[in-house]
């Protein structure tokens, strides 16, 4: 029996004099999480999404205990549990197939009273959409925001959509992802994300096909997360949908031509890259017919502030601190942002510019150090995961072995 510790938040009932109309731009995991949290704080929320349909791109996502606790606090445990795959451990494996270390998720779950759960993104996203609507939030699709203006009296901000429609709110939150338009408008100049030199191949395999091979069966029958670490590249995989699908991500040097962030991948080229790696990777890649490449970029943060001094605008999620996915924490950070933003807005006494600005200052103060640290750690992991064979790699492998013995209290 799971014994997770968390408190489910009750929706606050507010006086109209201190109930904000909040526009959240972007219905990704970050925007929807913020919507739920701000709704629970008793405010009104409209989410504007540029896509014509609500959904998530990509396949699998790991939700670590910190993010799971946030989701549970929003009343989502039961809804999510139906879709969660519960990995028991995480294996670190050398690129030629030698096991380096094993991290027992059970011990970490016990220590943090919160689980490691893996999801198909569409399932996680749908649970957030349903909860937003259940709490009275509105979601508009085909609503691409192209402009933002803070009112002269500082009390509101107005967004302009692609079709010319203008919408005004007491607070606008830019949760529009790594290529954020709102960040650019806020700064007043283009500010492209930083290249990392890596790209991701994202693959989904049929787990039943894998079960036919005794060497691969274990990966799907005993839910686990596996990391293979090798020169300039690494591979990650885990089961989804209760053992029906297998999610695999391969991280290699970026060769996508300038001008686009994604490209059709060549499966032969991908297989050739990993031909000398653990033969199990070769087998997995032989089961894949087509693949997409995704350029990986980061946003190391934003100085001196993410929020307009009027208190009528702020940023959240990848728009402000996108990280390499080498810590499986980008969405987790966006969900935490939303949680803190809602908790800060729960405490405002009135709709004045001063009250909102104070709430946003506290939100940012709570989030800045932690998110910057995660971005730095992601970049550090790029170096540590991609070491070539040699002294540094041996030291890393030794540390990973020691990691197994860590005492958790
Ligand atoms: P997004 O998900 O990018 O959402 C932004 C939304 O805004 C989109 O719906 C977009 O259509 C919309 N939008 C954009 N512009 C506008 C506009 N002008 N007007 C209106 N709407 C707009 N994180 C984890 O925690 N665990 C993992 O295991 C993990 N694995 C990853 C694996 C890979 C390969 C990658 C690339 C990332 C991974 N991440 C992981 C990171 C995670 O996916 C992101 O950090 C997270 O999805 C960011 O959420 P977001 O809501 O901030 O942005």
28 CA → ligand 1 middle, Å:
6
Which of 28, 52, 195, 239 to mutate for ligand 1's pocket (most ligand atoms within 8 Å of CB)?
28
pLDDT band at 55 (very low <50, low <70, confident <90, very high): confident
* Helix (H) / strand (E) containing 75: none
pLDDT band at 234 (very low <50, low <70, confident <90, very high): very high
Atom of ligand 1 nearest to the CA of 330: 45
Instruction: Express each pLDDT in 324-345 by its tens digit.
Output: 999 999 999 999 999 999 999 9
CA distances from 398 to 62, 99, 100, 225, 317 (A): 26, 12, 8, 20, 34
Q: In the predicted model, is pLDDT for residue 50 greater than 80? A: yes
Q: Which residues line ligand 1 (CB under 6 A)?
A: 25-31, 48-51, 61-62, 143-145, 175-177, 181, 200, 202, 249, 294, 317-318, 325, 328-332, 334
Instruction: Tell me the angle at which helices 105-112 and 65-73 cross, rounded to the nearest 10 degrees.
Output: 50
Query: Which DSSP string corresponds to 90-132?
Result: EEEEETTS-EEEEEEHHHHHHHHTS--EEEEHHHHHHHHHHHH
Q: What is the mean pLDDT of residues 238-263?
A: 94
Which of 331, 332, 336, 375 to mutate for ligand 1's pocket (most ligand atoms within 8 Å of CB)?
331
pLDDT band at 291 (very low <50, low <70, confident <90, very high): very high
- What the block records as the tokens of 406 is 């860590």
Q: With contact defined as beta carbons under 8 Å apart, do 280 and 216 qualify?
A: yes
- Three-state DSSP at 378 gives helix
The pLDDT, as a whole number, for residue 249 is 97
**What is the pTM assigned to this prediction?**
0.97
115 CB-near residues (< 8 Å, 6+ apart): 2, 4, 65, 68, 84, 86, 105, 109
Q: With contact defined as beta carbons under 8 Å apart, do 345 and 43 qualify?
A: yes
Instruction: Express each pLDDT in 192-204 by its tens digit.
Output: 999 999 999 999 9
177 CA → ligand 1 middle, Å:
5
| Category of 24 on φ-ψ map: left (φ > 0), alpha (ψ -120 to 50) or beta | beta
CA-based radius of gyration for the chain: 22
Which of 36, 175, 177 to mutate for ligand 1's pocket (most ligand atoms within 8 Å of CB)?
177
Which of 200, 201, 203, 325 to mutate for ligand 1's pocket (most ligand atoms within 8 Å of CB)?
325
| Cβ atoms within 10 Å, residue 298 | 21
In DSSP terms, 167 is beta-bridged to 159
254 CA → ligand 1 middle, Å:
19
Atom of ligand 1 nearest to the CA of 62: 28
Based on the number of CB atoms within 10 Å of its own CB, is 2 exposed (0-12), middle (13-18) or buried (19 or more)? Answer: exposed
63 CA → ligand 1 middle, Å:
14
Q: How much of the chain exceeds pLDDT 70, in percent? A: 99
- What the block records as the tokens of 29 is 């995991």
- Three-state DSSP at 276 gives coil
CA distances from 308 to 107, 186, 302 (A): 43, 8, 12
Atom of ligand 1 nearest to the CA of 319: 52
pLDDT band at 408 (very low <50, low <70, confident <90, very high): low
Instruction: Express each pLDDT in 74-90 by its tens digit.
Output: 999 999 999 999 999 99
First vs last Cα of the chain: how many Å apart? 20
Q: What is the mean pLDDT of residues 360-381?
A: 98
Q: In the predicted model, is pLDDT for residue 248 greater than 90? A: yes
CA–CA dist 287, 283 (Å, integer): 7
**Taking Cα atoms as reference points, which of 3, 42, 52, 7 lies closest to residue 22?**
42
- What the block records as the tokens of 213 is 């091979």
Phi and psi, residue 327, nearest 5°: -130, 5
Atom of ligand 1 nearest to the CA of 331: 25
The pLDDT, as a whole number, for residue 407 is 66
209 CB-near residues (< 8 Å, 6+ apart): 287
pLDDT band at 8 (very low <50, low <70, confident <90, very high): very high
CA–CA dist 220, 245 (Å, integer): 8
pLDDT band at 409 (very low <50, low <70, confident <90, very high): low
Exposure string (b/e) for 134-143, b if CB count within 10 Å is 16 or more?
Answer: ebebebeeeb
Q: Report the length, in residues, of the chain.
A: 409
Q: What is the DSSP letter of 371?
A: H
Q: In the predicted model, is pLDDT for residue 58 greater than 80? A: no
pLDDT band at 60 (very low <50, low <70, confident <90, very high): very high
- Using CA of residue 148, residue 186, residue 337, residue 320, what is the dihedral sign? positive
Cα 24 to chain centroid, rounded: 17
CA–CA dist 389, 17 (Å, integer): 64
CA–CA dist 329, 326 (Å, integer): 8
Phi and psi, residue 191, nearest 5°: -150, 70
């Amino acid at each position: 029996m799971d014994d997770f510790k968390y408190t489910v938040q009750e929706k606050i009932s507010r006086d109209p004099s201190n109930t904000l109309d909040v526009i959240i731009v972007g219905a990704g995991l970050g925007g929807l999480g913020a919507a739920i949290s701000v709704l629970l704080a008793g405010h009104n929320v409209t989410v504007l999404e540029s896509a014509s349909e609500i959904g998530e791109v990509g396949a699998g996502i790991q939700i670590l205990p910190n993010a799971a606790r946030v989701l549970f606090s929003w009343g989502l445990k039961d809804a999510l549990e139906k879709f969660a795959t519960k990995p028991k451990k995480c294996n670190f494996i050398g690129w030629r197939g030698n096991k380096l270390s094993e991290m027992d998720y059970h011990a970490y779950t016990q220590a943090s009273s919160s689980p490691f759960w893996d999801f198909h993104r569409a399932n996680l996203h749908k649970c957030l959409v349903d909860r937003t609507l259940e709490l009275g939030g509105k979601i508009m699709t085909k609503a691409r925001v192209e402009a933002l203006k803070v009112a002269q009296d500082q009390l509101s901000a107005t967004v302009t959509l692609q079709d010319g429609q203008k919408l005004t709110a007491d607070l606008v939150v830019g949760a529009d992802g790594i290529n954020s338009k709102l960040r650019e408008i806020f700064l007043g100049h283009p500010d492209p994300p930083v290249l990392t030199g890596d790209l991701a191949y994202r693959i989904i395999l049929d787990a039943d096909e894998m079960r036919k091979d005794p060497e691969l069966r274990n990966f799907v029958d005993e839910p686990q997360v596996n990391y293979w670490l090798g020169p300039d590249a690494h591979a990650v995989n885990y089961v989804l949908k209760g053992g029906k699908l297998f999610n695999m991500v391969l991280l290699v040097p970026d060769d996508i031509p300038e001008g686009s962030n994604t490209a059709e991948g060549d499966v032969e080229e991908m297989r050739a890259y990993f031909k000398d790696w653990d033969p199990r990777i070769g087998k997995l890649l032989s089961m894949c017919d087509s693949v997409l490449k995704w350029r990986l970029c980061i946003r190391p943060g934003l100085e001196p502030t993410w929020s307009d001094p009027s208190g009528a605008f702020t940023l959240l999620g990848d728009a402000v601190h996108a990280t390499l996915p080498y810590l499986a924490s980008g969405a987790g950070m966006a969900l935490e942002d939303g949680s803190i933003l809602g908790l800060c807005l729960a405490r405002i006494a009135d709709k004045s510019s001063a009250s909102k600005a104070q709430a946003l200052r506290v939100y940012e103060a709570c989030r800045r150090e932690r998110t910057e640290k995660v971005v730095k750690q992601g970049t550090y992991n790029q170096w540590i995961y991609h070491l070539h064979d040699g002294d540094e790699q041996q030291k890393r492998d030794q540390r990973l072995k020691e990691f197994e013995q860590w005492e958790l209290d």
